[in-house]
Structure formats: structure tokens, C-alpha cells
A and B are shown apart, each in its own frame.
Chain A
Amino acid sequence: MRFVLKRHYNEDIRLFRYRSTFFWYLGLVIGCFLLPLVLSSYFISLLSFICIYSIVSVGLMLLTGYTGQISLGHAAFFAIGAYTSSILTKTGLPFLLAFPTAGLLAAIVGIIIGLPALRLSGLYLAIVTMAFSFIVEEIILRCESLTRGNLGMMVGPPSIGTLSFDTEKSFFCLALIFLILTLLTARNILRSPTGRAFSAIRDSEVAAQAMGISLPKYKVLAFAISAFFTGIAGSLFAHKMTFINPESFTIAVSIEFMAMIIIGGLGSLQGAVLGAIFVILLPQLIVLTKYYVGSIPSIQAGFESGLYGLMIILFILFEPMGIYGRWRKVKFYFEMFPLYKKDTFRRERKYQKMQRQ
């Protein structure tokens, strides 16, 4: 157990808790950049997907894990980002312009969709976002002049100036840079008054309101930021896949996103990344087991989303703090070694009053 003397409030909101943490993360980042030198392009491609999904996961974590608003329609923002970026780069706009536009458009749509849900409790938001995601899916399917409907559209690899990111390894570096920028932005938002307001809303809307936090403003803001991150991830996704069609943005994808943050651990950015890693690697594990055990004939393509469903159930029942929570427990065990008490992490049950009297 480490004890740090803090003399100033600013020391409490530093980016990294201890100085050593900074060096650990620095080492991790450098290690990640060195990975393309050792791994084959298949694994690098997987890593790129992990980066893209991590960006979505961080966005959703800000909304769900920190602000406490449920969204079952993030696949729609993902789709908006992907299609905006693909259509814009097709008309000749450079990637560096199309990329933020994709995020901004998703954010604007996020604001519009967040508005009706403001007057309602969190559960209605889940319904509205889901309805919205169905509507977006249908629009993409029917606007054939723009999106080519079910046929899907081809997208070129991203390029900045004369630099083209058309190989797996260069794309991974690009995605990793964006992931690091996303993480830094999210971390900075969270330690600012805005982030504090988000957490306050999550813990008690009434108390937050009493502290002078404007609920509509911060809820819409959380929604917009989250949609922005998801939008830029969508743009990266489109350029990574080089082919998109409406099938990649169904509600099953939204559930996958939700599974990411629950499995990773609600309320931590580390958890967001861990969840993304888990969700990307799980299908690979299934493929591997099929390879060794022999395929089971009745297993369908939809089997994975069923497994995500099961994972969500198991994690909520047995480890609501997710993978990151488990890591913290293990770490705490070794730090405290002979003195570990199980109750340190005991879940606090809130027998909240019903909403009506």
C-alpha cells in the first residue's frame, strides 16, 4: 500500500495517480507501437479492430459508465460516422477533413436524439436510442442513391497528404494514435468540472440538480461527446474494412458495444479498453476451439452474440465491476497481502425508493 502526501487539490486530479503509473503507461504505448515489428499482419489487423472498438467503448463509457444513461443505439452513430466518411472521401474530400466531419455529424444527430429523451428517465432513453437505431438502419437501406443500400459501398484506405495508410501495419499505427488521443481527451474531460457533473448525474439526478447542475445541458453534452467518439470510430472502421453495408450496423452491434463496457467494467477507461479487447478476441477464441475440437454442426453465425448475451448476464450477476474490477481486486490482494479483506469491495446495495409513492 502506498501513501502519498497531497498538499494541493490539483494533485488529486492529476492525469496519472503516481509518477510510476505514467512510466508504466508510457512503456505500454511504446510497446504497442513496436508490436508491428514482431507480429504478423493478421494479428495487427485484429489489433486495429481493438483500437477502433476501444474508441467506441470509451465513448459509450462516458455516456453509460460515467453519466449513467443507457444507449442501445450506438451502432447507429457508428453507421453515421462510417457512411459520412465514406461518402465524403468518395467526393474527393481528404480523409483529415472527412474524419472529424463524421464525428461532428454523429454528435449533431446525437444531440437531436438526446433532446426528446431529456424529459424522461434513463430507461426511456434506452428505448428511444433503440428506435432511432432501427430508423437509421432503414434509412441507410433505402437511400440507395447515396449509400447503395444492401449492395454496400467500397471505401478507399485513408491517406493524409501523400501518406497512405494502406497496409495493416501503418493503419494500426494510425488507429493507435487516435485511440491514445481519445483516451487522453476522455481522461481530461473526466477530471474537469464537466466530468464531475457527469458522475454526479449518474449517482443521483436529484442531488445533482440541487447542486446546480443543469441536467438537460450535461445529458445532451454526454450524448454528443459519446456520439462524436463513436462517429470517428465508425469512420476508421469504414476505412479499415474498405467495404461497408447496413449489415455491419444492426442492433446486435449495439449489444456488442454494451457488452464491451459491462464486461470491461463500468466506470473506468481501462475497463473500456479491456472490454474491447475481450469482445474482439472472443470470436477468435471460438474459431480456435473449433479448429482444435472440431466444429459443432448446429453452431450458427449468430452464436457469438448469444455468447455476448450470456457474458453480460454472468458479469452482471457475479462480477459487476468487470474485468478491470477483478484486476483491482487481485492487485489489492497482493498489496495488502496477509490483510486482505473481502468486504473491502463488497457491493453496496441501494434499496432505492420506488419512483412513485
Chain B
Amino acid sequence: MEIINEILETTLRGISIGCIYGLVALGFVLIYKATEVFNFAQGEVMMLGAFVGYTLIAIFGFPYWAALLLTTLLIGIFGMILERFVLRPLIGEPVFAIVMLTVGLSYFLKNLVPIIPGWGAESYGFKTPFTGRFLRYDQLVLSWENLAIILLTSALVFILICFFKFTRMGIAMRAASQNQLAAVYMGISINKVFSLIWMISAASGAFAGILLAPITFVHFNMGFLGLRALPAAVLGGFKSIPGAIVGGLIIGLTESFAGFYLPAGWKNITPYIVLILVLILRPEGLFGIQQKKKV
């Protein structure tokens, strides 16, 4: 019984951290699908989300749910501004330049936060409706913090899938990511699509940041987690939304079990080992199809 409980708890922890990876990976995938660029700053956007959430809840005293919505909105707008003023001037430049720009951006954001008064380099936490509440069933103890992550992630992914399936804008975005030229001929504004994609991706990053905050801490280095979500995105094939979430879950689970059953140090590198293995064995990911570029 002891062992089964242990496995269940490790699984739950793995799934909940996997959901976070999935959400961050979702940000990578959305941007990659639309613009064929990796946004290395995705983890830092998540970190910013956590900090804004912390400011709203702990300093301004907002209730948790209001803060969650407001933060998601604010960071979404931040993503839009980023796209408009930093990335749009680079349309038509080599992909390399844009990727390096996002790497630069991630380092800039990460080191900007400790300078901002009131944020600094300390770790913070804030109260959520789930703090300190547990679901007990016999000897099994599951924390609501982990369960909430899983439930809220499912809700967000459901909303996103509905958005892409049923709304006009969602369909336009899918069209643009399949063939930009044809999309333009059909009267879709590519600029609008790009800025919305950046907004959605930044917003889902911020959402992940707030969900993550209770189980890690709010710290300027938490964007590091974004780099661990990259393997998740690769595993999911870099092009599909369900793929990103499934990839995140797989990475989260392997990491959680490696942390529990393997010697110290393995936990940090298992995601990357999985990444390299996937790229060697099945480079198109679990859900992707690889295509040759035509001239």
C-alpha cells in the first residue's frame, strides 16, 4: 500500500509539473506554428506572469481569481507590445536573427527583474485558495495545489481548442499558419494574426507562471523552467497543441520519477536526455510530420 501511495503521489506531482511544462510548451508551439520562430523568452514571460500575479495578490490585495485573469490579460498585452515593437521590424530577416533576438530578450528580462524595486532577487510566495488544503482518501494524501494545476490547465486547453476550432479568428489563425499567402488572399490580416498569436502565447505563459508559483516560489530565475519545457515541445512535434501538452506530461512524469528513484543530479538532466533521444530516434516528435523544404 505504501509503495502504491508513493507512486500515486509522485505521478500526481509529475502530472502537475507536466501541465506547467505543457502550458509553456504551448507558448512555443503557437508561435512556431504561426511564425516559424522559437521564442526562447517564453520561460521569462512565465516568470513575469508570476511576478505580476504576486504583486497583484500580495501587495495590492486582489483576490486570487481576479488576479489570475488580470495577470493573464496584462501579460497578453505585453506579448502584443513585444511583437509590435521588437519582432515585427524583423519580419523577412533570417530566422537566426529572430531566434537570437528572443535569446537576448530572455536574458534581458531575467536580469531586469532583480533591478525593479519591490521585486528584487528574493523568493516570494503568495496565498491561494488551495494553499494547505489536501484531498485525503485513506492513507493517500493529494494536495489541492497540484490538483488545481491539472484542472485549470485542462480548462485553458479546452478553451484554446474551442477557440481554434469554432471562432472565425481561430480558423483564420490556423489558415495563416498553413499558408500565409493564401490566407492573405482570403482577406486575413497577417499582422493581426501574429499579434494575437503572441498575445495568446504570452498569456498562456503567464497563466502557467501563476499556477506554478505556489509549488515553487516566485523568483527571477524561475524562467529556467521554460528551457525545460523545450524538450516537451520537441517531443510533441512542435506543431500540435495536444502534442505540446502530452509532451509536457511525459517530461514532467519522467522528471518526477527520476527525482524519486535515481541518484541526485539525474532529475535536472532527464528532460534533456529525453530530448536528445527523441531527436535521434524520432526527430519529427510524437505528433509531427516532417517535410522537406521546397525551393
CA of A259 to CA of B273, assembled, Å? 27
B117: nearest chain-A partner, CB-CB: A298
Question: Which among A35-43, A133-141, A223-231, A287-295 touches the partner chain?
Answer: A133-141
A300: nearest chain-B partner, CB-CB: B114
Establish whether residues B265 and A142, one from each chain, have CB atoms under 8 Å apart when the complex forms. yes
CB of A121, distance to nearest CB on chain B (Å): 8
Residue of B90, B106, B264, B291 touching A355 (CB-CB under 8 A): B291
Report if B261 contacts A (CB, 8 A): no
CB of A130, distance to nearest CB on chain B (Å): 7
- With A135-B269, A309-B111 already in contact, the answer to whether A70 and B100 are too (CB < 8 A) is yes
Interface size on B, residues (CB 8 A): 52
Establish whether residues B92 and A316, one from each chain, have CB atoms under 8 Å apart when the complex forms. no
Residues of A within 8 A of B22 (CB): none
Residues of A within 8 A of B135 (CB): none
Establish whether residues B178 and A124, one from each chain, have CB atoms under 8 Å apart when the complex forms. no
Establish whether residues A309 and B90, one from each chain, have CB atoms under 8 Å apart when the complex forms. no
Please encode chain B, from 81 to 99, with 1 for each CB lying within 8 Å of some chain A CB and 0 for all others. Answer: 0000010011011111101
Report if A132 contacts B (CB, 8 A): yes
Establish whether residues B268 and A255, one from each chain, have CB atoms under 8 Å apart when the complex forms. no
List CB contacts (< 8 Å) of B35-50 with chain A: 36, 38
Residues of A within 8 A of B234 (CB): 124, 127
List CB contacts (< 8 Å) of A290-313 with chain B: 298-300, 302-303, 305-313
Question: Which among A46-54, A100-108, A211-219, A345-353 touches the partner chain?
Answer: A345-353
Q: By CB atoms of chain A within 10 A, which of B90, B106, B279 has the most?
A: B279
Report if A342 contacts B (CB, 8 A): no
Establish whether residues B280 and A116, one from each chain, have CB atoms under 8 Å apart when the complex forms. yes
Establish whether residues A309 and B100, one from each chain, have CB atoms under 8 Å apart when the complex forms. no
Establish whether residues A300 and B111, one from each chain, have CB atoms under 8 Å apart when the complex forms. yes
Report if A317 contacts B (CB, 8 A): yes
- With A135-B273, A354-B36, A355-B293 already in contact, the answer to whether A312 and B103 are too (CB < 8 A) is yes
List CB contacts (< 8 Å) of A115-137 with chain B: 116-117, 119-120, 122-124, 126-128, 130-132, 134-135
Establish whether residues B295 and A206, one from each chain, have CB atoms under 8 Å apart when the complex forms. yes
Report if A7 contacts B (CB, 8 A): no
- With A120-B283, A123-B38, A350-B92 already in contact, the answer to whether A302 and B111 are too (CB < 8 A) is yes
Please encode chain B, from 265 to 278, with 1 for each CB lying within 8 Å of some chain A CB and 0 for all others. Answer: 10011011101100
Q: Which DSSP category, helix, strand, loop or mixed, fits chain B's interface?
A: helix
Establish whether residues A299 and B115, one from each chain, have CB atoms under 8 Å apart when the complex forms. yes
Establish whether residues B283 and A122, one from each chain, have CB atoms under 8 Å apart when the complex forms. no
Establish whether residues A117 and B279, one from each chain, have CB atoms under 8 Å apart when the complex forms. yes
Establish whether residues A317 and B265, one from each chain, have CB atoms under 8 Å apart when the complex forms. no
List CB contacts (< 8 Å) of A131-157 with chain B: 131-132, 134-135, 138, 141-142
Establish whether residues B108 and A317, one from each chain, have CB atoms under 8 Å apart when the complex forms. no
Establish whether residues B273 and A262, one from each chain, have CB atoms under 8 Å apart when the complex forms. no
A68: nearest chain-B partner, CB-CB: B96
CA of A117 to CA of B275, assembled, Å? 11
Report if B139 contacts A (CB, 8 A): no
Establish whether residues B104 and A309, one from each chain, have CB atoms under 8 Å apart when the complex forms. yes
Report if A72 contacts B (CB, 8 A): yes
B264: nearest chain-A partner, CB-CB: A142
Establish whether residues A131 and B92, one from each chain, have CB atoms under 8 Å apart when the complex forms. no
8 residue pairs, one from A and one from B, having the closest CB atoms? A306-B111, A312-B104, A309-B107, A309-B108, A131-B272, A349-B92, A309-B104, A116-B280
Report B's interface with A, CB cutoff 8 A.
Answer: 36, 38, 86, 89-90, 92-97, 99-101, 103-112, 114-115, 117, 120-121, 178-180, 227, 230-231, 234, 264-265, 268-269, 271-273, 275-276, 279-280, 283, 291, 293-295
Given contact pairs A126-B99, A347-B93, a sample of 20 additional A-B residue pairs in the complex whose CB atoms are under 8 Å apart:
A70-B99, A116-B283, A124-B234, A127-B38, A128-B276, A128-B279, A132-B272, A134-B272, A135-B276, A138-B265, A142-B265, A205-B293, A255-B103, A262-B100, A298-B114, A306-B110, A311-B104, A312-B107, A316-B104, A356-B291
